[in-house]
Amino acid sequence: MGKFENMKPPLVALALLASGFVPAGAFAQTSLAQKIQRLEDIEEIRTVLVNYGRYLDAHDFKAYARLFAENGEWIGGFGTVKGPAEVEAFMEKNIGSPGKPNGTYHLLSNFVIDVHGDTATAWSRWNYVTPGPDKKPVINQGGHYEDKLVRENGHWKFIRREAFRDLPST
């Protein structure tokens, strides 16, 4: 067993730096590069989360399905499907005609994103807004998503998106 194996990563880095194995400049550059990569990953994942709602509300189910990894899974009140082709067909069947939005929309918020290399988790809130009897917007239902994402072919995609309804339909 090497002397660094039981140490936490930051302590290993400091030990290597102090021992002279890693030049101080190289450590600082790597650390900055890792921080930048993490921020870029978080921003790309945030865009995936927002595009999910945009594409769903626009009934662009083809673009919506491309947000899922090859074996990505959608789980929600309508059931469970796996893979972009199944996700697309499932949404067409359960949501409505492709390319014909119906005046309803999602509000997405409270993004919490945690990146671990080429995998990530996310948590967020959703509210579904519909026209009320007086045609004014009404939050019809609300809930949250629990997501697992993966970097596939250089882009972040859902490997699992689970929708939970926390507020019932009005």
Burial (CB < 10 A; 0-12, 13-18, 19+), residue 66, is middle
Higher pLDDT pick, 7 / 131? 131
SS3 state of residue 120: strand
The arrangement of strands across the sheet holding 105-116 comes to 79-82, 68-76, 155-167, 137-152, 119-131, 105-116
Looking at residue 153, what DSSP letter applies?
T
pTM over 0.95, yes/no: no
Alpha helices in the chain (DSSP H): 9-19, 24-57, 61-65, 84-95
- The residue ranges of every structural domain in the chain are 24-167
Q: Is residue 18 over pLDDT 80? A: no
Candidates 3.40.1080.10, 1.10.630.10, 3.10.450.50, 3.30.720.210; CATH matching 24-167: 3.10.450.50
Q: How does the average pLDDT of the chain come out, rounded?
A: 87
CA atoms within 13 A on the CB side of 127: 10
Looking at residue 148, what DSSP letter applies?
E
Question: pLDDT of 119-147, one tens digit each?
Answer: 999 999 999 999 999 999 999 999 999 99
Amino acid identity, position 1: M
Q: Is residue 157 over pLDDT 60? A: yes
- Name the band, by pLDDT with cuts 50, 70 and 90, for residue 59: very high
Burial (CB < 10 A; 0-12, 13-18, 19+), residue 144, is middle
How confident is the model at residue 23, as a pLDDT?
52
How confident is the model at residue 22, as a pLDDT?
47
What is the mean pLDDT of the segment spanning 19-33?
59
- Is there a contact between 77 and 165 (Cβ–Cβ < 8 Å)? yes
Question: pLDDT of 64-94, one tens digit each?
Answer: 999 999 999 999 988 999 999 999 999 999 9
How confident is the model at residue 100, as a pLDDT?
79
How confident is the model at residue 102, as a pLDDT?
83
Looking at residue 83, what DSSP letter applies?
S
- Name the band, by pLDDT with cuts 50, 70 and 90, for residue 16: very low
